[in-house]
Amino acid sequence: MELNDRHGWATADEFDVQFPTIDALVEIESLDRALGEASGADGPVDRGTAARLTEALLHLAAWTTGVRLAQETLRGMDSG
């Protein structure tokens, strides 16, 4: 977050809407069990909260990689 704050890539509000909270993940899993359906097309219901959190972190890693690559590209354009 410190790097993000320093460069102003995303606001706290933008982060809040991108990634579900732990409570939301637990609620999603509870609804999945109650309804007997997966909430997304990525996998079966029994993925569990830990798997959903891991998936969210992987999405975050992909997002930050995209930000880093965009910044490097812009720096290259400025110096070139």
Whether 23 has a pLDDT exceeding 80, the answer reads: yes
Burial (0-12, 13-18, 19+ Cβ within 10 Å), 34: exposed
CA atoms within 13 A on the CB side of 80: 6
**pLDDT tens column, 27-39:** 888 887 777 755 5
Instruction: Give percent of the chain with pLDDT exceeding 90.
Output: 0
pLDDT value at residue 80: 61
Q: At residue 77, does pLDDT exceed 70?
A: yes
Largest CA distance in the chain: 57
Read off the pLDDT band of 42 (50, 70, 90).
low
